[in-house]
A and B are shown apart, each in its own frame.
Chain A
Amino acid sequence: MTTGLSYVAMRMASAIATLFVVSVILFAAVDLLPGDPAQQILGVNATPERIEEVRRQLNLDDPAPVRYGRWMWGLLQGDLGESVRTGGPVEQIVGRPALNTAILVVVGFGAIVAVALVLSALSGIREGSRLSNVVSLGALGALSVPEFIVAGILIAVVGLELGWLPAVSLVPIGGTPLDRPVILVLPVISLAIVGGAFGARLIRAAVADAARMPHVEAARLSGVPEGRVILRHILPAAIPPTAQVLAFLVPFLVGGAVVIERIFAYPGLGSLLVDRVSLRDAPVIEAVGLLQAAAVILAFQAADVVGFLASPHRRTAP
Chain B
Amino acid sequence: MISVRELDIRGHLDARILGGLCVDLERGKTLAAVGGSGAGKTTLGLSLLGFVRRGMRLAGGEVEFEGRNLFALPERELRRLRREAIAYLPQNPASSLTPTLRVEDLVGERRTDRSPSAEELLELVQLPGGRSFQRRFPHQLSIGQQQRVAIARAIANDPRLLILDEPTSSVDPTTQQVLLALVERLRDERGVATLLISHDLPSVGRVADEVVVLSSGRVVERGGALRVLDSPADPYARALVSASPDIGVSQPRTAAVAAESAPVLGVDGLCAGYSIGRGRGKRTIHAARDVSFDLAAGETLALIGRSGSGKTTIARTLLGLHAPTDGEVRLGGAAIPPRLRQRDRSQRAAIQLVPQDPEQSFNPRRSIGDGILRTIRQISGLRGGAATLRLAQVLELAQLDPALARRRPRELSGGEQQRAAIARALAAEPRVMICDEITSALDTIVQRQIIDLLKLIQDETGISLLFITHDLALAHEFAHRIGVLSEGRLVEIAPSGQFARRPQAAESRVLLEAAPSLSRTLATRQDATRPSAGGDDAARAVHNATSGAPGDASAPAEPNLVPGRNA
Query: Which applies to chain B's interface (DSSP): helix, strand, loop or mixed?
Result: mixed
Question: Which residues B237-261 have CB closer than 8 A to chain A?
Answer: none
Which of chain A's residues 42-96 have a Cβ closer than 8 Å to chain B?
none
Report which residue of A222, A237, A310 has the largest number of chain B beta carbons within 10 angstroms of its beta carbon.
Answer: A222
Kindly supply a per-residue 1/0 record for chain B positions 488-501, scoring 1 wherever the CB is within 8 Å of any chain A CB and 0 otherwise: 00000000000000
- Given the complex of chains A and B, what is the CA–CA distance between A312 and B136 in angstroms? 9
From B51, B82, B88, B98, give the contact of A215 (CB < 8 A).
B98
Interchain CA distance A225-B84 in the complex, whole Å: 12
Q: Give B512 Cβ to nearest chain A Cβ, in Å.
A: 31
Q: Which residues of B contact A233 (CB under 8 A)?
A: 98, 101
A313 to chain B, nearest CB (A): 4
Does the CB pair B98–A222 fall under 8 Å? no
Shortest beta-carbon distance, A306 to chain B, in Å?
A: 13
Within the complex, the shortest CB–CB distance from A136 to chain B, in Å, comes to: 18
Residues of B within 8 A of A219 (CB): 98
Q: Kindly report which residue of chain B lies nearest to residue A233, judged by CB atoms.
A: B98
* A214-B90, A221-B46, A223-B80 known; A316-B140 Cβ under 8 A: yes
| Size range of the chain B interface in the assembly | 20 to 34
Q: Are B100 and A236 in contact (CB under 8 A)?
A: yes
CB 8 Å contact bits of B75-88 with A (1 = contact, 0 = none)? 00001111110111
Per-position 1/0 for B4-43, Cβ under 8 A of A: 0000000000000000000000000000000000000000
Q: How far is the CB of B337 from chain A (nearest CB, A)?
A: 34
Chain A CB count within 10 A is highest, among B98, B109, B139, for B98
Would A310 and B100 be within 8 Å (CB), given that A222-B88, A317-B140 are in contact? yes
In angstroms, how far is the closest chain A Cβ from the Cβ of B401?
33
The residue from B92, B95, B140, B153 contacting A222, defined by CB atoms under 8 A apart: B153
Q: Does A224 contact B (CB under 8 A)?
A: yes
Q: Which of B79, B80, B90, B278 contacts A218 (CB 8 A)?
A: B90
Chain B residues within an 8 Å CB radius of A317 = 140
User: A2 at the A/B interface (Cβ < 8 Å)?
Assistant: yes
Which residues of chain B have C-beta atoms less than 8 A from A318's C-beta? 139-140
Q: Point out the residue from A213, A221, A232, A311 that lies within 8 Å of B101, measured CB to CB.
A: A232
With A221-B90, A312-B100: A1-B82 Cβ-Cβ less than 8 Å: no
Residues of B within 8 A of A217 (CB): 90
**A224–B83 contact, CB under 8 A?**
yes
Per-position binary interface string of chain A over residues 200-244, scored 1 when its CB falls under 8 Å from any chain B CB and 0 otherwise: 000000000000011111110111111010001100110000000
Contacts of B307 in A (CB 8 A): none
Question: Closest CB-CB distance, A51 to chain B, in whole Å?
Answer: 57
Q: Roughly how many angstroms separate A236 CA and B46 CA in the complex, as a whole number?
A: 26
Report chain B residues within 8 Å CB of A226: 79
A2–B278 touching, CB < 8 Å: yes
For residue B487, CB closer than 8 A to chain A, the reply is no
Residues of B within 8 A of A236 (CB): 98, 100-101
Contact A313 B139 (CB under 8 A): yes
Closest-CB distance, B279 to chain A (whole angstroms): 8
Contacts of A232 in B (CB 8 A): 98, 100-101, 105, 109
Q: Does B157 contact A (CB under 8 A)?
A: yes
Q: How far is B281's CA from A316's CA once the two chains are assembled, in angstroms? A: 13
Main secondary structure of the interface of A (DSSP, over half): helix
Closest chain B CB from A213 CB (angstroms): 7
Q: Residues of A contacting B384 with CB < 8 Å?
A: none
Does B97 belong to the interface (CB within 8 Å)? Answer: yes
Restricting to B144-182, which residues have a CB under 8 Å from any CB of A?
Answer: 153-154, 157
Neighbour of A223 across the interface among B84, B90, B281, CB < 8 A: B84
Q: Which of A215, A225, A226, A316 has the most CB of B within 10 A?
A: A215
Instruction: Say yes or no for B277: interface residue by CB 8 A criterion.
Output: yes
Tell me how far the C-beta of B131 lies from the nearest C-beta in chain A, rounded to whole angstroms: 15
Residue of A2, A222, A237, A311 touching B110 (CB-CB under 8 A): A222
| Nearest CB on A from B274, distance (A) | 14
- Which of B79, B100, B157 has the largest number of chain A CB atoms within 10 A? B100
Which residues of chain A are within 8 angstroms of B87 by Cβ–Cβ distance?
222
The answer to whether residues A214 and B95 also contact, given A2-B278, A222-B88, A310-B100 and a CB cut-off of 8 A, is: yes
In whole angstroms, how far apart are the Cα atoms of A236 and B81 in the complex? 26
User: Pick the contact of B79 from A213, A214, A225 — CB < 8 Å?
Assistant: A225
Confirm or deny: B137 has a beta carbon within 8 angstroms of a beta carbon on chain A: yes
Complex Cα–Cα for A118 and B120 (A): 41
Min CB–CB distance B370 → chain A (angstroms) = 30
With known contacts A221-B49, A316-B140, A215–B99 Cβ distance under 8 A: yes
CA–CA, A272 to B157, complex, Å? 65
> Is B388 an interface position by the 8 A CB rule?
no
- In angstroms, Cα B432 to Cα A191, docked, is 64
A105 to chain B, nearest CB (A): 31
A313 with B137: CB separation less than 8 A: yes
Smallest Cβ-Cβ distance to A225: which chain B residue = B79
What are the 10 closest A-B residue pairs judged by CB atoms, nearest first?
Answer: A223-B83, A223-B82, A236-B100, A218-B96, A312-B137, A313-B139, A214-B95, A215-B98, A218-B90, A1-B281
> A218-B96, A232-B105, A310-B100 provided; 18 other pairs, C-beta below 8 A?
A2-B278, A213-B95, A214-B90, A215-B98, A215-B99, A216-B98, A218-B90, A221-B88, A221-B90, A222-B83, A222-B88, A222-B109, A222-B110, A222-B154, A224-B109, A233-B98, A233-B101, A312-B139
